Every structure is written in C-alpha cells, then in structure tokens.
Amino acid sequence: MAAPHAEFDAAVEPWRRELVGYCYRLLGAWDDAEDAVQETYVRAWRYWDTFEHRSSVRTWLHRIATRVAFTAMEGRQRRALPSGLGNSDGFLPWSAWVQPYADDRDDLRLALVAGLQTLTPSQRAVLVLRDVFAFPAPEVAELLDVSIGAVKSTLQRARARLAREAPRPDDVVEPQDPIARRQLDAYVKAFETADVGLLTAVLRADASLELLPGRRWFDGVAQCVPVLTDAVGAPGDWRMEPVVANGQPAARVWLHGEPMGLAVLDSRADGIASITVFGEPGLVGRFAQPLVE
C-alpha cells in the first residue's frame, strides 16, 4: 500500500531547497535544477514503500538527485559564461549559458558555479556534497557507489581545479554591505539617468563586462566604458529594481517599459570587478523578490 502523502511530504519537503541548490550547482541552470528535483521527488514517491531507512532521508534523496542530474548531463555540453568560451561574435541559445539563481548564499556566486561546470560530473558531486553540504566521506562514498579512497582523491582533484578555474577572492563584499549597496546604486542611477560617469567611478581598472546571450565579453575598464556609454541611452530609457542573485547584488531590468533581463555585479571592497548581463526577459519575473533592506 502506498504511503500516505502526509507522511511522505513531512519526510522529504524539508530538503527541497537544499536539493534545488545541489542540482543547480551540478547543472548550472535554475530550470534544469527544478526539473531534476521534480523528477527526484517522483522517483522518491515511487519507491517510498521500499525505502527501509538504512540511510537518512536526506542521503537517500541526494542519491536519487545525483543519478537524475548525471543523466541530465549525458550528451550535453557544459554550461559556461562568455569569458569561459573565448571571445567571439555570435549568439548561443540559453541552454549554453550558466543561469542566475535567486539566492543570497555566497557559495553560489556566478564565477564559482561556472567554475564547477569545468569539473567532471563526479568531481562536481563530490565537491558539493563534501564542501558545501558537509556530508561525511563514508556517506558520499555510499551515495555515489564508490570507495572512500575514491571520494578523497576526487575531492582533492576537484578542489585543485576549481581553485584554478574560479579562485575565491578575499575582498568580496556581501549584497547587504554598504559598499555593495553603493556600487549597485551607482549602476542603477547611471542607467536610469543616462550618466555613465556614476558607474565608471565605481568600476575597478580590471573590471569585465559579459553580455549574454552574445559570446563577446569585455576585459578592463578601457574596453567596458565605451560599451556602457553606448548602452545608457537617454534618461528614462531604463528602469531597474535591486535584487539578489547568486549571493551578489543584482538588478532586474526594464528597457522602454518592457522586461529586459537581469544584471549581476561582482562587488569587491575597491570597486565592481565584473558585470554580467543576462538579456532574458523572463528573468524579471523570476527575480521578483526585492533586495531586503
């Protein structure tokens, strides 16, 4: 007899947010993560009667989610940001890009999520399970059907590669920090008032600009400023609302009154290190929760 929905829901629902975050880190896309978690819960319900609690519900769900995510990765190219693909003209479909995620956790920063996509699927899973969710090595080994030694060696390789691909800066400021708020305010006012000088004043000399879904990106303030100057247009063309994305200050954006997408800032103590603009109108609705004061 099937287990009552109330019993099942009480056991599995507390882990939904963690599972979505887990699958997002593995797959690099919010949509894919939610689809993977939905499939995880379908499978969990199907086998709930035979789940004998030899492991915790949390471990069991992550085991299912890992299998679902690994299947989703088969035959797909890794998601990336333009800076990870090389500078060239043209556009790629949204399935090629890392998607932003509405969460305030610092370990979800865009550069880190993009860096995770350069790892093998098993390296991603081991690193996230051990370093983000603090699963003990024996549980990870059981979850992935590998030896404890394999978990330890895979983790070592994953950490080393991620440190090369997405080194973690020590001068990052949180979205709620006054420094980050001033930088985001300068970004918003620069576009809403067509005064690009407000923005260039808070850009670092090595700031970069990535404009998705195009493949071109701009490295250094000398390259970024002409692009930003062309973009600001006339006062009133743009409207922006502060939000948080991937633990970073961000703004959902309207152009001429129509949804345009999302801009995400990499805020550092000495200025904005990068701006990533996702030109996808649907993101305006998905990031509807304003930045909390």
Residue 209 clears pLDDT 50, i.e. is over it:
yes
- What integer is the mean pLDDT of 192-201? 97
- Is residue 262 within 8 Å of 250, Cβ to Cβ? yes
* pLDDT (0 to 100) of residue 233: 95
Give the domain ranges of the chain. 178-286
| Mean pLDDT, residues 195-223 | 96
**Dist. CA 138–CA 151, nearest whole Å:** 8
pLDDT for position 3: 47
Q: Are 207 and 220 in contact (CB under 8 A)?
A: yes
Q: What is the mean pLDDT of residues 128-154?
A: 97
Q: pLDDT value at position 293?
A: 40
Looking at residue 75, its pLDDT comes to 84
Percent of the chain exceeding pLDDT 70 equals 97
Q: CATH classification of 178-286 is 3.10.450.50, yes or no?
A: yes
Average pLDDT over residues 160-169: 92
The pLDDT value recorded for residue 50 is: 86
Q: Which of 194, 195, 178, 286 is nearest to 241 (CA)?
A: 286
Proportion of the chain above pLDDT 90, given as a percent: 84
Q: How confident is the model at residue 290 (pLDDT cuts 50, 70, 90)?
A: low
The arithmetic mean of pLDDT across residues 62-72, rounded, is 97
The pTM is what? 0.93
127 token code pair: 């690193």
pLDDT value of position 289: 63
pLDDT in the model for residue 152 = 98
Residue whose entry in the numeric block shows the structure tokens 């086998």: 47
Q: What is the mean pLDDT of residues 142-150?
A: 96
Let me know: does 246 contact 103? Beta carbons within 8 Å.
yes
Chain-wide mean pLDDT for the chain?
93
Higher pLDDT pick, 205 / 106 = 205
Judging by beta carbons within 10 Å of its beta carbon (0-12, 13-18, 19+), is residue 86 exposed, middle or buried? exposed
